[in-house]
Amino acid sequence: MAEAQAQNIPSPVGESKPRIDARQKVTGSAVFADDIPHGNALLYARIKRSSRPHALIRRLDVNKARALPGVKAVVTGEDFPGYIGLYLQDRHIFCRDRVRYVGDPIAGVAATSEEIAEKALDLIEVEYEDLEPVFDPESGASDSSPLLHPELGQYAAANFIFPQAGTNISNHFRIRKGDADSAWDECAAVIERRYHVPHIQHVPIEPHVAAAQVDVTGEITLWCSSQSPFAQRNLIAQAMGIPQSRMRVIAPFVGGGFGGKAGVSMESLAVAIASKVKGRPVKLLATREEEFVTTFVRQGLVAYFKMGCDSDGHLLAMENRFYWDGGAYTEYGVNITRASGYSSSGPYEVPNVKADAYCVYTNHPVGGPMRGFGMPEMHAGLEQCIDELAQQIGMDAVEFRRINCLKTGSILVTGSQMHPTGLPQCIEKAAEAIEWGRKDPPSAPNKRRGKGLALMWKAPAMPPNAGSSAWVELSEDGMVNVGIGGQDLGQGVFTVAAQMAAGALGVPYESVRIATPVDTRYSPYEWQTVASRLTWSLGNAVVNAASDARRQILDIVAEAWEESPDDLDIVNGVVVSFRSEREIALKSLVIYGMPKPDDQGWRGGPIVGRGSFMPTYVTGLDPETGQGARAVVHYTTGAQAVEIEVDLETGRIDVLRGASAFDVGRAINPELVRAQMEGGFVQGMSSALFESLQLRDGVVRNPSFVDYRIATSADAPQELQTFIIEVPQEDGPWGARGIGEHSMVPTIAAIANAIYDAVGIRLDGPPFTAEKVYLAMLDAGIVQ
């Protein structure tokens, strides 16, 4: 904390960790009853979903459901012809003529009880004509595959997304740097590998939930657990053909998001149903099974890597192909494909790179954003290939990474230059923490120990013009209210925003309150709470708003005291003059101003500061080569290292210790940064060892915690070290960059490399379950 205070970034006082729930800084909460007119009883919504992975809807009869007592509305795709989607508008709110995955919404019911709504679903009759499904993204990308979206060429798309009409490829991103085809002859060693990474779920403790009400004038209010209230306002309004100003989204604290509550998944269903029962609020709550199947899942990936180096360990060429299993709709997933393309070299400088990233429609659940946004999946195979390539030329894997890792000024895969980075320092810290090069004895004769290390990089994957805004106002007692549109998911953004506002304005942290809940009618605009961008983007907006308020205050006092604003400062909520040594508390002037001499009026008035931020320097990339002046705003880089133990009798893996080192630019709140590193490590470990959606013929076979295993505190390593590297970001507030997602990115690969170090086997993808590890050891003759 002292480190933060030294840089004039106030920290929470009197505790070792800041309060993540930010209760002392919050000036409101989402009070559902106060917002709903009295006398309009709540209705309960349920959704009729497809039982087929791919079929035409030949008949849909809802008459019996409508006639059921207690049912107030039944809606179908015929009521809502518009398309919805963030980067690619490729789906309707309800299916109209075709279903594309098991769980696709066909109809919605609003009733006076959940039981009646469920009964009404059973009365809806659907006749299908089954179509040939697609369950593999690689075969789905072929010309002979059945088409899932024949209308793909007609869909509206962002100008940096490249759908391939007449195919199942909703985005194809290319990288052509140098001449990879000619470089292979110069290589002393070449490695080629194929990896598969499965779908997984975000599994937040709080499932998706939304309540919507449409009043008699057509004004819409949506309450929901959301990372994206402003994006939801925009996308749902567009799909329903209404002005955005006629829709209001209120988003209280989120009980777990991890990307799954970004964009629009089930929220539009609640709004659509509510539009048919004007004046009545309608609540839609996802069951745990629906949470597993019908909300965003992490996309699956089939990845091919080819890379080569010279005898001195210098990387010369890479050729990578990524087939992303985007699921039935890829309106968000297309940008994951793009991100994997412009990051396809990993955190290495490689002179010759050829990469093709394909987002492919399949008849699987809808792929979308998850913590890491494609980077854990991509790095899982790439970082194993780096280890294997180093082994081929007899070089230590850490030394190989030291030689090739990105450094300040390196030429990136998109042709631009790397900004200042502390990646080399991250490598040293992570390797040193697990005593790289030292082989420790196992804890028992039937166990083997191994160590692994992996690097990562990740940029905020977002449009070039994603903006943030904030306001700062002061009350009569000098307390500061800060309005933001970013959401707190437990990551501590409210804490950090309060610290930044306090630091920029010159007041104690304790005097700052964050105005909540996020409400699109009253909160300032924020694109989304995604991409680990809020500390940087929203932080800049908060600093600008606080600085604006500060300027107003100093101008008023300078005029009153006949001094220059340059001679004034605000310290602990008091304006002080370095020239005259006069002072005045903020509470004495921020509402009523200051009197002019001789009772000749007043100067000043209520202080309201406003600020915004939007990057203006991100350029487009050549669609054929992926080259351009600046593809992204910045990259966060880092390294992770692990030591594991493998049980030869069972295949069980125990992670004994881990180390995470990340260059965060500037740690505004070091304790929250360390918490993100720790949490990301455990979530990455969970995806490495346990998690996988078991899909068979398009059906999720494990949609519950009975059969879907996630890591718990019992699985976490007893020793987990974190290292904060600080190489300032040129346009970050106090030099800060994000760290929310990055700590999950290298974990799969680090554990995979440690497994090889322990027992000499490599699997074609996670999860590295005890059964898979044991059978691989059996096949390799390691165990009998």
Residues 626-636: tens digit of each pLDDT: 999 999 999 99
Residue 535 has pLDDT above 60, yes or no: yes
User: Does domain 33-131+208-285 correspond to CATH entry 3.90.470.10?
Assistant: no
Residue 26 has pLDDT above 60, yes or no: no
> In this structure, what are the phi and psi dihedrals at residue 249, rounded to the nearest 5 degrees?
-120, 125
CA distances from 703 to 204, 382, 685, 694 (A): 13, 30, 20, 9
* CA pair distance 568, 566, nearest whole angstrom: 6
- Class of residue 59 by CB neighbours under 10 A (exposed 0-12, middle 13-18, buried 19+): exposed
Identify which of 248, 658, 230 has the alpha carbon closest to the alpha carbon of residue 431. 658
Question: 430-459 pLDDT, tens per residue?
Answer: 999 999 999 999 999 999 999 999 999 999
Which of the four pLDDT bands, split at 50, 70 and 90, describes residue 11? low
Residue 7 has pLDDT above 50, yes or no: no
Percent of the chain past pLDDT 90, that is, above it, reads 95
Q: What is the mean pLDDT of residues 682-688?
A: 98
Q: What is the mean pLDDT of residues 57-67?
A: 98
Residue 263 has pLDDT above 60, yes or no: yes
Q: What is the mean pLDDT of residues 270-284?
A: 98
pLDDT for 39 equals 53
* CA pair distance 211, 379, nearest whole angstrom: 38
pLDDT for 40 equals 80
pLDDT for 27 equals 35
Residue 15 has pLDDT above 60, yes or no: no
Residue 67 has pLDDT above 80, yes or no: yes
Q: What length does the chain have?
A: 784
* CA pair distance 381, 302, nearest whole angstrom: 10
**Domain 2-30+466-613 shares a fold with domain 297-462+620-779:** yes
Residue 3 has pLDDT above 50, yes or no: no
Contact 310, 186 (CB under 8 A): yes
* CA pair distance 210, 641, nearest whole angstrom: 40
Question: 500-518 pLDDT, tens per residue?
Answer: 999 999 999 999 999 999 9
pTM: 0.95
Q: What is the mean pLDDT of the chain?
A: 95
Q: β-strand 315-327 against 480-484: which pairing, if any?
A: unpaired
Contact 486, 471 (CB under 8 A): no
Q: How far is CA 269 from the centre of its chain?
A: 23
Residue 198 has pLDDT above 50, yes or no: yes
Identify which of 524, 543, 537 has the alpha carbon closest to the alpha carbon of residue 10. 543
pLDDT for 135 equals 98
Residue 23 has pLDDT above 90, yes or no: no
Q: What is the mean pLDDT of residues 141-167?
A: 98
pLDDT for 1 equals 34
pLDDT for 18 equals 33
Single-letter amino acid, residue 747: T
The kind and range of the H/E element at 640 are strand 636-647
Contact 103, 365 (CB under 8 A): yes
Question: 387-446 pLDDT, tens per residue?
Answer: 999 999 999 999 999 999 999 999 999 999 999 999 999 999 999 999 999 999 999 999
Contact 540, 499 (CB under 8 A): no
Three-state secondary structure of 166-221: CCCEEEEEEEEECCHHHHHHHCCEEEEEEEEECCECCCCCCCCEEEEEECCCCCEE
pLDDT for 21 equals 32
Compute how many other C-beta atoms are within 10 angstroms of the C-beta atom of residue 781: 7
Task: Give the residue extent of every domain in the chain.
Answer: 2-30+466-613, 33-131+208-285, 297-462+620-779
- Name residue 637's beta-bridge partners: 457, 663
Q: What is the mean pLDDT of residues 251-279?
A: 97
Report DSSP state, residue 79.
G
User: How much is the CA Rg of the chain, to the nearest whole Å?
Assistant: 27
Report DSSP state, residue 740.
T
Q: What is the mean pLDDT of residues 678-702?
A: 98
Question: 489-524 burial by CB neighbour count: b if 16+ within 10 A, else e?
Answer: bbbbbbbbbbbbbbbbbbbebbbbbbbbbbbbeebb
CATH for 2-30+466-613, options being 3.30.365.10, 3.30.1370.60, 3.40.710.10, 3.40.1160.10: 3.30.365.10
Q: What would the two tokens of residue 508 be?
A: 């104690």
Q: What is the mean pLDDT of residues 353-362?
A: 98
Question: 27-41 pLDDT, tens per residue?
Answer: 333 334 444 444 589
Contact 640, 681 (CB under 8 A): yes
Question: 307-324 pLDDT, tens per residue?
Answer: 999 999 999 999 999 999
Which of the four pLDDT bands, split at 50, 70 and 90, describes residue 8? low
* Topology at the third CATH level for domain 297-462+620-779: Aldehyde Oxidoreductase; domain 4 (3.30.365)
